[in-house]
Amino acid sequence: MSAPAGAWEVVIGLEVHAQLRTRSKMFCRCSTAFGAPPNSQTCPVCLGLPGVLPVVNRRAVEYAVRTALALGGRVNARCRFARKHYYYPDMPKNFQISQYEEPLAEDAALEIDGPDGAPRRIGIQRLHLEEDVGKLVHEGTLETAAASLVDYNRSGVPLMETVTRPDLRSPEEAAAWLRAFRAVLLYLGVCDGNMEEGSLRCDANVSLRRAGTDPLGTKVEIKNLNSFRNVQRALEFEVRRQAQALDAGERLVQETRLWDADRAATRSMRSKEFAHDYRYFPEPDLPPLDLDPAWLAAIRGDLPELPRARRQRFVEQYGLPAYDADLLTQSRALAEYYETAVRAHANPKALSNWIMSELLRELPGDDEAALARCPVPPAHLAALVRLIDEATISGKIAKDVLVTMLRTGEPPTLIVEREGLVQVADAGALAVLVDEAIAANPRAVEDFRRGKAAAAKALVGAVMKASRGKANPAIVDRLVQEKLSRG
Amino acid sequence: MIERQDVEHVARLARLAMDEVELERMRQELAGILAYVDRLRQVDTAGVEPTSHAVPLVNVMRDDEVAPGLAPEAALGNAPDRRDGMFRVPRILEDG
């Protein structure tokens, strides 16, 4: 294992909060839709008014169980909710309903590729359910604000908290793990993975220790990591900061630091006194869960193929390079898109190339919604590649056709026919064009006769241009060679 | 025995301001409660499973269905201060 910070080994653990894709909140029936006007999706339960009774959303439990089982975790069929007390205006009850001593699941893991390409198993200590808190808007900055404004629409939205073991060894690896974890959530359909809207949020614990030693160093928690890039940059900054301090013989303090993306630095959050005195106790308003083994088995039986397994299968079944398989399996929607296309036209590598080099330039491959809206359905892309394979159009023309397909949503055959793009493969018609090209380019002909074989290319190019790209290049090439050699 | 500083600590966590008289009264009341709990602890509970609920219920769950809640105006009904449809609260972090 490399030690990026010189003699120091980097030890990182992540805490990820994923908003579960339910329609209603965790303990009440308010909508979870994003972007509604402030305080328009609240009720006495999620506003924490006295005398209300929360009731658990079954779908949220199902989604968390699905995730835990997909990651090989041990589901605690018997588990409880607990109150976590702290005083902050984003939480109207002054406690958050969470899970503490009896989390929903423990001892899961998610494998990623290590620096040497070998698989690395990153342990997941626990996975539990809790409710989200409201959203604070500060007047001015957090430090200078005279007042804060609170929107409780998000209060009570179901969250799944996943805590990894301190198994990650570099900022890159932490970002890679988070990407892999997000992909799993998308495959499972339990979270939309939208980091900008806060559906997926990450905190990181990082410490350094002398390479080759066991005891963990003083750890620092970094908050506010709302993109993969920020996870990596914040951790890189923090590793440097800690290494410099330790190299200078300073002692680090255990603290929470906030990542400031604009200043590209972490800074200490003024620690609230007693901040970690949460006084957990079992939530008296929620009876414990004692999940039915048959339900758990049904959820397990329903698990989809996960990204890594699918990637492996793509390599074996379609003969794709690992690079292609990795890109194509980044989301379930993209993998399905690819497989649907391959079923329609069995040229796996060509379809992979077209998706990677053309389609993904137009839309993000990890955006399920964008893929679902893609104006070029997989059958159309398959038809396009078939037109090339059957020599009806050239690859160059095909690119133009795809541009139109993306714009109009029409099938390629229709566009090719309407715009008269069918490749000219008629040797007789092409011979006329070749003769014209030879007559118009005496210099190239002379060069060729003096032994410059490359001069033939100029003639082929001239013919292609004259045909506006519609000539079959292989036939043109053959004709040019024949005519020139014949003298 | 509960000390005055324990009461101060808990009051601070709950953001409750208490004067001397209140602190002492609260200390005595909490001491009474703790003494009662101490008596309960003397009961032999070997073989009794811990419980957090008096009713023998498990798995009280509901379907994931949306129902209308409060109108924003009603939700903000008790807000001491508001702006732009949001609750307005004093600054969050204490000085120092």
CATH number at residue B25: 1.10.20
Kindly report the nearest CA distance between residue B84 and chain A, in angstroms: 8
Q: A184 phi and psi, to 5 degrees?
A: -65, -45
Contacts of A203 (CB under 8 A, 6+ apart): A14, A15, A16, A17, A221, A222, A223, A225
The closest CB to that of B88, out of A87, A149, A282, belongs to A149
Cβ pair B72:A39 closer than 8 A: yes
Q: Which two tokens stand for residue A174?
A: 């932490």
Neighbours of A433 (CB within 10 A): 19
The whole-number pLDDT of residue A366 equals 76
CA–CA separation, B60 and B45 (whole Å): 27
Strands A95-98 and A289-290: unpaired
Domain of B22 in residue numbering reads as 4-41
Residue of chain A minimizing CA distance to B95: A270
Which candidate, A76, A190, A294, A290, places its Cα nearest to that of B61? A290
Kindly report the nearest CA distance between residue B3 and chain A, in angstroms: 18
At residue A258, the 3 state secondary structure works out as strand
DSSP element (H, E) containing A335: helix A332-344
Cβ pair A287:B60 closer than 8 A: yes
CA–CA separation, A332 and A322 (whole Å): 17
Q: Which two tokens stand for residue B32?
A: 């009474």
Kindly report the nearest CA distance between residue B59 and chain A, in angstroms: 5
Cβ pair A30:B76 closer than 8 A: no
Report whether A477 contacts A456 (CB < 8 A): yes
CA–CA separation, A84 and A277 (whole Å): 9
Cβ pair B88:A292 closer than 8 A: no
Looking at 1.10.10.410, 1.10.3720.10, 3.30.70.360, 3.90.79.10, the CATH number of the domain A427-486 comes to 1.10.10.410
- Residue B21, in any domain of the structure: yes
- Residue B53, in any domain of the structure: no
A212 secondary structure, DSSP code: T
Range scoring the smallest mean pLDDT among A58-62, B61-65, B88-92: B88-92
Neighbours of A315 (CB within 10 A): 16
User: DSSP letters of A92-110?
Assistant: TTSEEEE--SS-SEEEEEE
The whole-number pLDDT of residue A3 equals 42
Contact status of A152 with chain B (Cβ, < 8 Å): yes
Kindly report the nearest CA distance between residue A268 and chain B, in angstroms: 13
Alpha-carbon A29 to chain mean position: 29
- Residue B92, in any domain of the structure: no
- Within 13 Å and on the Cβ side, how many CA atoms surround A146? 0
Which candidate, A379, A188, A145, A382, places its Cα nearest to that of A299? A188
Which candidate, A377, A458, A374, A391, places its Cα nearest to that of A426? A391
Cβ pair A39:B89 closer than 8 A: no
- Residue B19, in any domain of the structure: yes
Residues forming beta bridges with residue A204, ordered by sequence position? A14, A222
pLDDT (tens place) for every residue of chain A, 487 residues total: 444 446 899 999 999 999 999 999 999 999 999 999 999 999 999 999 999 999 999 999 999 999 999 999 999 999 999 999 988 889 999 899 999 999 999 999 999 998 888 899 999 999 999 999 999 888 876 667 788 899 999 999 999 999 999 999 999 999 999 999 999 999 999 999 999 889 999 999 999 998 877 788 889 999 888 899 999 999 999 999 999 999 999 988 888 898 988 889 998 876 554 456 888 999 999 999 999 999 999 999 999 999 999 999 999 999 999 999 999 998 888 999 999 999 999 999 999 999 999 999 888 877 778 888 899 999 999 999 999 998 888 888 899 999 999 999 999 999 988 887 777 767 777 888 888 888 888 888 888 888 887 888 888 888 888 888 778 888 888 888 888 877 5
At residue A297, the 3 state secondary structure works out as helix
Question: What are the residue boundaries of the structural domains of chain A, listed by start?
Answer: 8-298, 307-407, 427-486
The whole-number pLDDT of residue B96 equals 30
The closest CB to that of A150, out of B65, B72, B87, belongs to B87
Average pLDDT for chain B: 90
Contacts of B66 (CB under 8 A, 6+ apart): A23, A24, A29, A30, A31
Residues of B with CB under 8 A from a CB of A: 9, 12-15, 52-53, 55, 57-67, 69-72, 75-76, 81, 83-94, 96
The whole-number pLDDT of residue A213 equals 78
Contacting residues of A for B75, CB less than 8 Å apart: 39-40, 42, 47, 152
Which candidate, A407, A419, A484, A473, places its Cα nearest to that of A445? A484
- Residue B11, in any domain of the structure: yes
Residues forming beta bridges with residue A82, ordered by sequence position? A98, A282
Torsional sign, CA B42, B46, B52, B53: negative
Contact status of A397 with chain B (Cβ, < 8 Å): no
* Count of residues in chain A: 487
A358 secondary structure, DSSP code: I
Interface contacts A/B by beta carbons within 8 Å: 139
Instruction: Quote the strand ranges of B16-75, DSSP E.
Output: 61-62
- At residue B95 the predicted structure's pLDDT band, cuts being 50, 70 and 90, is very low
CA–CA separation, A101 and A99 (whole Å): 7
ipTM exceeding cut-off 0.85 for this assembly = yes
Residue of A23, A26, A47 to mutate, testing the B interface (most B Cβ within 10 Å of its Cβ): A47
Residue of A22, A95, A135, A148 to mutate, testing the B interface (most B Cβ within 10 Å of its Cβ): A148
* Count of residues in chain B: 96
Q: Which two tokens stand for residue B48?
A: 């009794």
The whole-number pLDDT of residue A322 equals 92
User: How many structural domains compose chain B?
Assistant: 1
Portion 54-83 of A in contact with B at CB < 8 A: 55-61, 80
- Residue B17, in any domain of the structure: yes
pLDDT digits (tens, 9 = 90+) for B64-74: 999 999 999 99
Torsional sign, CA A311, A312, A316, A321: positive
